[in-house]
Amino acid sequence: MHLHFVIHEHFEAPGAFERWAIRSQHQVSYSLLYQGDSLPNNDKGADMLVVMGGPQSPATTLEQCSHFDSIAEQRLIRQFIEANKLVIGVCLGAQLIGEALGAPYQTSPEREIGKFPIYLTEAAKIHPLFEHFGGMLEVGHWHSDMPGLTSEARVLAHSAGCPRQIVQYQDKVFGFQCHMEFNTKLIDQLIAHEDFREAARSPYVQKPDELLKHDYEQMNEVLYGFLDKLTKAYE
């Protein structure tokens, strides 16, 4: 299995996704866009595309961020989908999947930064890739927007602050608005690039000291289980 990561910023790293891939002895490649790397020309050479998050939105232009080309990323996502390959989007990546499939992103009802529960839908509880999540799972969050929904999309999890936390767009295409890849190192990096001055105004924004105290290992293990099942089904 060959995974290709699209990474927009160094502080939005793959975390547990990368750890799982290396532990599973999969081949890994990267487009480190913040360092000037280019996107792949097409889907050839990789079995799974993982598009990570970032402070951008799908509407961010090249004039606003010279290393982020939303249209090009959407085109790459469509190429992988049309080639019947695995596609996972995290946060911004999930929103780009929706955009690539004709579903514009939207503003989330609440800004979420922290570790809060997501709640699995009845369909998710019996979904072979998600049944091990249980009915509720505490996961990481760091967003203000959420992915759009196509007519075929199924919402598999929601939270108190956002109705679209995990979305299945197609059999091999998944959007995670939540961040199950977080670890303490990533949280530390994200804190350094976040403005918390208005944090007290939101019930779903935790303070830096609280963010650093969380244990992220359990949700990482649940993510590993999902990825194990997904790649086994693909192979």
Pick the CATH number of 2-234 from 3.40.50.300, 3.40.50.12780, 3.40.50.880, 3.30.420.40: 3.40.50.880
Taking the domains of the chain in order of start, what are their residue ranges? Answer: 2-234
What CA–CA distance (Å, rounded) separates 156 from 70?
25
106-120 and 136-146 strand pairing? antiparallel
Contact 121, 136 (CB under 8 A): no
pLDDT, tens only, 66-121: 999 999 999 999 999 999 999 999 999 999 999 999 999 999 999 999 999 999 99
- Cβ-based neighbours of 176, under 8 Å, separated by 6 or more: 88, 89, 90, 91, 93, 94, 165, 166
Give CA angle at 194 (177, 221), nearest 5°. 40
With residue 96 as reference, give the H or E element that holds it: helix 92-100
Provide DSSP, 105-133.
Answer: -EEEEEEEEEEEEEEE-HHHHT-TTTGGG
Question: What is the per-residue pLDDT across 169-227, written as a single tens digit (0 to 9) for each?
Answer: 999 999 999 999 999 999 999 999 998 887 768 899 999 999 999 999 999 999 999 99
SS3 136: strand
User: What pTM did the predictor assign?
Assistant: 0.97
